[in-house]
């Protein structure tokens, strides 16, 4: 199940365009950003099961409710991705300039889709 939001819709539309253009770098950047949003919705790691005798029974009974991210939460996740890419660009600047440039392009792509 995928969550719909204005930001995710922009990222998915841009990814579709990048795939049509066979732009692997942009496709990868957008896929990673969407995965980060999906991961942010995951059940908290601290969630613990109760006693075995209290366990639910039946199909889907063990499914946990995913977190619902607000628009602000989603922007925070995207901003963290952008910051990570910019940091990678700085880290690669001296040793692998082409990777540094790719990281900066990826950060610029996500910044352009941020929507504000």
Per residue in 69-100, pLDDT (tens digit) is 999 999 999 999 999 999 999 999 999 999 99
Mean pLDDT score of the chain: 88
pLDDT at 32: 97
DSSP 94: T
**What was the pLDDT predicted at 4?**
84
pLDDT of residue 93: 93
pTM equals 0.80
What Å distances lie between residue 116 and 23, 44, 67, 86, 113, CA to CA? 25, 29, 24, 19, 8
Query: Which carries the bigger pLDDT value, residue 20 or residue 55?
Result: 20
Question: pLDDT band at 56, cuts 50/70/90?
Answer: low
Calculate what percentage of the chain has a pLDDT beyond 90.
Answer: 72
Q: Which residues contact 51 (CB under 8 A, 6 or more apart)?
A: none
User: With bands split at pLDDT 50, 70 and 90, how would you rate the model's confidence at 53?
Assistant: low
Cβ atoms within 10 A of the Cβ of 30, count? 25
Output the CA torsion sign for 20, 105, 2, 114. Answer: negative
């Amino acid at each position: 199940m995928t969550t719909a939001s204005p930001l995710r819709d922009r990222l998915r539309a841009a990814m579709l365009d990048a795939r049509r253009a066979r732009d692997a770098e942009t496709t990868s950047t957008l896929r990673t950003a969407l995965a980060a949003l999906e991961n942010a919705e995951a059940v908290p790691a601290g969630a613990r099961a109760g006693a075995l005798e209290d366990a639910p029974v039946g199909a889907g009974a063990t499914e946990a409710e995913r977190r619902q991210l607000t628009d602000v939460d989603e922007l925070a996740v995207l901003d963290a991705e952008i910051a990570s890419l910019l940091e990678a660009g700085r880290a690669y600047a001296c040793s692998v300039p082409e990777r540094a440039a790719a990281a900066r392009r990826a950060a610029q792509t996500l910044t352009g889709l941020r929507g504000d």
